[in-house]
Amino acid sequence: MVLGEAMMFLWGGGLLLLGIIGFFAVLLGAVARIFRFVLRIATPCGADRRTGTAAVHRPPAVVCGNPRCGHTNRVDARFCARCGVRIRG
């Protein structure tokens, strides 16, 4: 069956394309996360200067507790901005 083979080829090609696109999406996300991480290391004191000698002992940012997320949220954030997991409160 030529038609059957063509359909199989289309399905296989589509799945392959989907896989490639998904792979690149994940790769792009990882690269963006690494880039942000490196940027944060490169500028350690830039964000802290604003708080000065305030008596708050909170860290400058709250990292999401979800191991699959790890998003860095604002200090006063109650829920993770990315995955919505409750951070505090």
Decide: 87 and 78 in contact? Cβ < 8 Å: yes
Q: Does 77 bind Zn ion (CB under 5 A)?
A: no
Task: Output b/e per residue, 26-60; b: 16+ Cβ within 10 A.
Answer: eeeeeeeeeeeeeeeeeeeeeeeeeeeeeeeeeee
Q: Does 71 bind Zn ion (CB under 5 A)?
A: yes
Q: Does 62 bind Zn ion (CB under 5 A)?
A: no
From 40, 60, 66, 79, residue interacting with Zn ion (rule: CB under 5 A)? 66
Please identify, using beta-carbon distances, which residue of 15 and 32 lies nearer to Zn ion: 32
| Residue numbers at the binding site for Zn ion (CB under 5 A) | 64, 66, 69, 71, 80, 82-83, 85
